Structure 1
Amino acid sequence: MGFIKSALVGAAIYAGIQYITKKDILTGRSILDELLEKAPEFIDKAKIYAKEVEIKVEQPIDPHYS
């Protein structure tokens, strides 16, 4: 049973890698290429969000707020 489960998981991982690295016929780019191109933008957005959360956490709690 464990062997079959491992084989299915391996096949799913293989299919997923094939899907994200397959080149598009029209653009010649893969999903992975697009993600790698947009990675700096995603990192900048994550840094801004983390800073906003940090500011909200550091603010004192208003005792009159319910």
Structure 2
Amino acid sequence: MMTRHKAQEVALITQEGEENGLRNDWSEHSQDAANDMALKENMLERAIMFMRQINDTIALQSAKINCVM
């Protein structure tokens, strides 16, 4: 838990940064991180679907080979 002194120190540093032209873009960074995570999850889901298709194809080919033999 943040003490009052620490909270004042953070506020002062933030104020000094804003006065020097820096902005607090945490919300933008958080949104970028969330978008990046969603993109990675989507890519992972697509890769899993592709691997399942490969497994199904292999199983089908294996079944065809077994029927011929």
Shorter chain as denominator, the TM-score bin is 0.3 to 0.5
TM-score, normalisation: structure 1 = 0.44
Please, what TM-score do these two structures have when normalized by structure 2? 0.42
Name the structure with the higher helix share. 2
Higher RCO (Cα < 8 Å, 6 or more apart): 1
Larger Cα-atom Rg: 2
